[in-house]
Amino acid sequence: MILSSSQLRALKERNDEELRKGKYAKYGYPAHTIQDLLQTVDAVKKEKKKWKQLAQERGRVLQEVVSLTVKAAPTGFDPDDDL
């Protein structure tokens, strides 16, 4: 099941309310487990953003290498040819 950002926010708010209730929370409500899962989701989002930025930077560098290679190659060079 994939949750949208609004669903995650609502789950976090409900879970925070249950955590604030302390010993008066609903019996059997896994507040700490849900809190751990929400923290894991946040950590995964941060990692995904970091790797996405890294991939974009890598793509820019590869594009620059290709353009420099084409400029430095002899005039009969076709960049679409396999090596």
* pLDDT, tens digit (0-9, with 9 covering 90-100), for 47-79: 999 999 999 999 999 999 999 998 887 766 566
Q: Is residue 82 part of a domain?
A: no
Spatial distance between the Cα atoms of 34 and 8, rounded to a whole number of angstroms: 11
Task: Please give the C-alpha separations between residue 76 and each of 27, 63, 66, 69, 81, in angstroms, as whole numbers.
Answer: 76, 20, 16, 13, 11
Q: Is residue 79 part of a domain?
A: no
Q: Is residue 77 part of a domain?
A: no
Q: What is the number of domains present in the chain?
A: 1
* pLDDT, tens digit (0-9, with 9 covering 90-100), for 28-55: 889 899 999 999 999 999 999 999 999 9
Looking at residue 44, its pLDDT comes to 93
**For residue 22, what are the domain limits?**
5-72
Dihedral angle sign, alpha carbons of residues 6, 33, 44, 42: positive
Spatial distance between the Cα atoms of 35 and 11, rounded to a whole number of angstroms: 10
